[in-house]
Amino acid sequence: MELFDVYSLFDVTPVKAQGCRVWDDKGVEYLDLYGGHAVISVGHTHPRYVAALKDQLDKIGFYSNSVQNPLQVELAHKLGKASGYEDYSLFLDNSGAESNENAMKLASFHTGKDRIIAFHKSFHGRTSGAVAVTDNPKIVSPFNAVHKVTFCDLNDAEAVEKELMKGDCAGVIIEGIQGCGGINLPDIEFLRSLDVLCRKYDAVLILDEVQSGYGRTGKFFAHQWADIKPGIITMGKGIANGFPCGGILISPEFEAVKGMLGTTFGGNYLAMAAANAVLDIMNDEKLVANAGEVGEWIKANIPSSPRIKEVRGRGLMLGIEFNEDVAPIRKKLLFEKHIFTGVAGKNMVRLLAPLCLKKEEAEAFVNALKEIL
Ligand code: PLP
């Protein structure tokens, strides 16, 4: 049997990783500024993280959500504290797309309405429900046409209000910072307007923090730069540092009804051991602040060049937009300088490094980019 060939692969086979470093099967060492697509939050194979998983595996690997699981309660407690959302509730699932589906479902249960407003260039996942609010013709299949979604331009509050006034919108879903669409930041005032408009028209503001959350931008969630409190916040990626895990934070305005949401694997013991370890490490090593500081240092030190159009983002969620196709630049970074980076569209190098990135590592990247340019 062969693998279904849907991924463009670099010819690199990682076999070992530690902190922000990855080694391939030929012994070549790489600097990882991509974190497996924003997944590595506390660094690869952090000893406390590894120990927590091993310890849990010795006790109990899996049992269903029909029994008490103290690790979920522990996570809810820690997450409430770390994020400042102690009055919200936590529902656990397995991925970012599933979190967004659960959020939209909950918004429609809560409001009794069925239309969703999303934004051009957004990305919310690959399940049919999540992809329906994803504005990329390459991945939207005819099947998604069944969903009721209206796309507005980012930062156009008037357009959003026009839709909300029609009275059939259950919610507005927006990324804290658009990731796959090219590191596009919602204006702070725009986020505040969405918050006000959603309350005014009885719709739920859903903040997709799957990529922009968990400390990445220098605050726990990116929307906290706007000082708003959305109805639902969705999470995934870095929440368990690579162990599949997702979840949503739900405002106290929502009433839980038995059977409303559910999942087999969500909140399982191993994912919870991993997620609890992540929050402990983030807290003890002050990784949110580190992401903010090191990310801002990179932003300020990207060499100026006529080939670079703009550097956008916050903390360690950065996009370097070029005036040209970045594929050759990324290849040079990977194969000559041994640095992993990501991409958005054709012209943007996207950085989503582990939150523990050190200043020296950031300097190594900036110097490598200078040499390439
Ligand atoms: N939402 C955002 C903002 C994302 O960036 C992604 C993945 O890239 C998702 C949702 C989907 O997450 P997952 O691939 O874990 O389903």
- The pair of structure tokens assigned to 220 is 């726990």
Query: For 144-163, what is each residue's pLDDT tens digit?
Result: 766 799 999 999 999 999 99
How far apart are the CA of 103 and the centre of ligand 1, in A? 13
Ranges of residues in the chain whose predicted pLDDT is under 70: 145-146
pLDDT for the residue 39: 98
Contact 283/276 with Cβ under 8 angstroms?
Answer: no
C-alpha span between 367 and 20 (Å, rounded):
17
Mutate to test the pocket of ligand 1, among 101, 139, 210 (most ligand atoms within 8 A of CB): 210
**Per-residue model confidence as pLDDT tens digits over 214-251:** 999 999 999 999 999 999 999 999 999 999 999 999 99
Check if 125 has its Cβ closer than 6 Å to any atom of ligand 1: yes
- Bridge-based pairing of strands 348-351 and 149-152 is unpaired
Q: Cα–chain-centroid distance for residue 214?
A: 8
Please give the structure tokens belonging to residue 363: 């300097």
Task: Provide the pLDDT for residue 146.
Answer: 66
What pLDDT score was predicted for residue 134? 87
Taking the centre of ligand 1 as the mean of its atom positions, its distance from the CA of residue 137, in whole angstroms, is 17
Would you say the pTM of this structure is higher than 0.95? yes
Cα(61) to ligand 1 centroid in Å equals: 26
Residue 59 CB-density burial (10 A; 0-12 exposed, 13-18 middle, 19+ buried): exposed
What is the pairing mode between strands 169-175 and 115-119?
Answer: parallel
pLDDT tens per residue across span 182-211: 999 999 999 999 999 999 999 999 999 999
- Ligand 1 centre distance from Cα of residue 210 (Å): 6
In the structure encoding, which two tokens stand for residue 253, read together?
A: 């305005």
